[in-house]
A = this chain, B = another copy of it.
Amino acid sequence: MDRVFHALADATRRDIVRRVLDGEHSISDLARHYPMSMTAVQKHVGVLEGAGLVVKRRQGREQRVVGRVEALRRAEALLAEYERLWRERFDRMGDVLMTEMEGNGR
């Protein structure tokens, strides 16, 4: 999970994710969109791959980068879990308020 969030904590990498979820691209293809060397883009793809957000499939001379949505879903599920905690907290606070009101009413 560390790796998933770390991978997403960079605008270039998020843009790569966006592109490869929309369709496959080669690494040099991706590199053309960013103001940095191909090696740098290669490293970014490596980070995404380490996080399970993309996989590479060699096809002749080039390497097609394709997005995997599963890791994204795990991250999303964790955030949803945090939101659940948040909601439950307010439910409890609501209970406390109700109890206080009852107490005052008597």
Q: Is A72 an interface residue (CB 8 A)?
A: yes
Binds B, one of A38-46, A55-63, A80-88: A80-88
How far, in whole Å, are A24 and B89 apart by their CA atoms in the complex?
10
Q: How many residues of A contact B (CB 8 A)?
A: 31
User: Considering only CB atoms, which chain B residue lies closest to A92 in the complex?
Assistant: B23
How far, in whole Å, are A88 and B23 apart by their CA atoms in the complex?
10
Question: Would you call A22 and B76 a contact (CB within 8 A)?
Answer: no
User: Considering only CB atoms, which chain B residue lies closest to A90 in the complex?
Assistant: B69
CB interface residues, A 3-24, toward B, < 8 Å: 3-6, 8-11, 14, 17-18, 21-23
Question: Would you call A17 and B82 a contact (CB within 8 A)?
Answer: yes
0/1 string, A44-74, CB within 8 A of B gives 1: 0000000000000000000000010100110
Contacts of A5 in B (CB 8 A): 5-6, 8-9
State the A residues within 8 Å of B (CB). 1-6, 8-11, 14, 17-18, 21-23, 67, 69, 72-73, 75-76, 78-80, 82-83, 85-86, 88-89
